[in-house]
Amino acid sequence: MNTSAGIPTRKASWRVFEIAGGSIAFGLAAGDAVSRQAVALGTAPLWSATPLLVVIMGGGLVTNILWCGWLLHRNRSWRFPASQGGGEAARNLAFCAVAGAIWYCQFMFYGFGSNYLGAFAFAGWSLHMGTIILFSTVWGILTGEWTGAGASSRRLNVAGLALLILAIATIGYAGFLQQNP
């Protein structure tokens, strides 16, 4: 891994994210027996991925606590939040809590949807990531993020969004055909 002053370069970091990015999908797929057991014990099928999310997100929590703790120690910045004053620190903590809740909800909803994909469960992660890209890009367009972009960039963006919509619709239609032969 290339480093500059002990910090991984952007390219090396993206390699790690590429590999680790699908870990949640792998965890949900590998834990299918746990989900089935949860349903057998009376859990509604909609909530059957919840026991898996507790374990999967718990692993992420431990990893993030260790990483952030190491960074706070290395950079000697652990006092910074307290030095901001009560109101500013409380507001930042509230924003962090809201962001964490929203982030968790995306995986909760992914778990909901993955239960209904049947033979197309393998496509669930692609659908999840595709809709995240789709909605975040549309949000960026609506908020003016693309205002300064050139015409060719905008065309490429629209083409990419159209391709994502087509892919999502194709997978959805295939699932519909599976349910209604």
Higher-confidence residue of 18 and 50: namely 50
CA diameter of the chain: 63
Residue 103 is predicted with a pLDDT of: 84
pTM of the entire predicted model: 0.61
Residue 50 is predicted with a pLDDT of: 86
Amino acid sitting at position 170: T
Q: Which helix (H) or strand (E) holds 110?
A: helix 86-114
The distance from CA 40 to its chain's CA centroid, rounded to whole angstroms, is: 28
> Residue 65 has which token pair?
């606590």
> Quick one: residue 150, left, alpha or beta (phi over 0 = left, psi -120 to 50 = alpha)?
beta
Q: How do residues 158-168 score in pLDDT, each as one tens digit? A: 999 999 999 88
The answer for residues whose C-beta is within 8 angstroms of residue 133's C-beta and 6 or more apart is 164
Strands 7-8 and 3-4: antiparallel
Amino acid sitting at position 135: F
pLDDT category, 2, cuts 50, 70, 90? Answer: very low
Higher-confidence residue of 75 and 78: namely 75
- Mean pLDDT, to the nearest integer, of 20-49? 84
